[in-house]
Amino acid sequence: MEHIRTQLSNVILEVLKKVNIRSFYSLYRALNEKELPCAIVEIPKFDSEIASVNSLVRKEFYFVVEFIVQMSDGIDSKVDEILVKIEKELLTHSKLSGRCSHLSTKFSIREEGNQPILSAKCDYVFTIFTKHNEPDTEI
C-alpha cells in the first residue's frame, strides 16, 4: 500500500489535470514563461493525535495548491474561476469528500524577469482516522 501522503498527492494531481491545469509536485526551480499558468502542489505538514478512547488516531495532512499565472488585464476573474473549479473538484472528489477542508487563500504579486506574476496559495487539510499502529490504508 502506498503511503497516505503519496495517495493524496496523486489525487490532487489528478484533480488539477481534470481542470486542465499543468501541475508540478514540490517545484524547487524557477518557472519559465512557457510553463505558465500552472499549479504547484506541496504537502508540507502532517499532524496526528489520539482522537478517541477506542485508540483511533486522527491524521491531518496539510497541503498547498499554489496557482501561478502571468498578470494581464482581466486575469482576476479568470483566476477566481479556476480556483473555484479546483476547490470544487477537491472537496467533492470521491476519495476526499467530507474529509477535505479549505483553510485559506493568500494572493501575492512578484516580478520574474520583467513580467509580473500572480500567485494564489490555497491551503487545505485532509483528515483521516485510523487505528493506532495501523499501517497506511487506502484513502
Single pTM value for the model: 0.85
User: What is the model's pLDDT at position 53?
Assistant: 67
Percent of the chain residues past pLDDT 70, beyond the cut: 95
Looking at domain 4-131, its CATH superfamily turns out to be Phage minor tail protein U (3.30.70.1700)
Residue 1 has pLDDT above 80, yes or no: no
Measured between alpha carbons, how far is 139 from 34 in angstroms, rounded to an integer? 34
Q: Which of 80, 73, 56 is nearest to 133 (CA)?
A: 56
pLDDT, greater one: 132 or 76? 76
Measured between alpha carbons, how far is 107 from 86 in angstroms, rounded to an integer? 16
Binning pLDDT at 50, 70 and 90, where does residue 139 land?
Answer: confident
pLDDT tens string 88-116: 999 889 988 888 999 999 999 988 777 78
Residue 57 has pLDDT above 80, yes or no: yes
